[in-house]
Amino acid sequence: MILHFLRHAKTNQVSPTGRDFDRELLPRGYEQLSELKSKLAQSPIAVTRVFCSSAQRTRQTWTEIADLFPSATISFHDELYLASQQTLLNFLTHQQSTETILLIGHNEGLSDLASYLTGSDIHLKTCGYLQLSFPFDHSGFISASIGNILDSFRSL
């Protein structure tokens, strides 16, 4: 099984509404996503299922890269907004999926989950990307320290 993590790109510190949920990407965030797209165009990944936080910044992040995954099924989930490592793990294992998954979300939950799954200290910065492989075909078996890092990306 292959699992991809993507932290949203660089955002404004505050939103026009004052709500964190509504924060939007900065021009630097769009530059980061352009760099990520170039990297992924050189080494394409075959994502079939995308789970994305429903926050504005994660939706905008997805919109910028969606053309890389024309056959992927996307769904947005309120429970992925600022989710903890345990919430993300429960979400993924509950999916019982055999598909190649891209999870778009937030820190600290994404970094904590990546650290837990690999047994390494991982900190995803904005627009940070990580590809993990697991020795089974089903997301229901994801657990501690069995993920292997296949690829990663961090924008400059």
Bridge-based pairing of strands 148-153 and 129-133 is antiparallel
Q: Give percent of the chain above pLDDT 70.
A: 100
Q: pLDDT at residue 156 above 80?
A: no
Q: Is pTM, for the whole model, over 0.95?
A: yes
CA nearest 68: which of 113, 4, 10, 117? 4
**Model confidence over 136-148: pLDDT tens digits?**
999 999 999 999 9
Number of CB atoms found within 10 A of residue 7's CB: 25
pLDDT bin (cut points 50, 70, 90) of residue 101 is very high
**Does an H or E element contain 28, and which?**
helix 27-42
Cβ neighbours for 111, distance < 8 A, ≥ 6 positions apart: 7, 122, 123, 124
State which amino acid sits at residue 133. S
pLDDT in tens, 45-96: 999 999 999 999 999 999 999 999 999 999 999 999 999 999 999 999 999 9
3-state SS, one letter per residue, for 130-155 = EEEECCCCCHHHCCCCCCEEEEEECC
Superfamily of domain 2-15+22-153: Phosphoglycerate mutase-like (3.40.50.1240)
Ranges assigned E (strand) in the chain = 2-7, 49-53, 73-77, 101-105, 129-133, 148-153
Q: What is the mean pLDDT of residues 95-116?
A: 98
Rama region for 155: left / alpha / beta (φ>0; ψ in -120 to 50; rest): beta
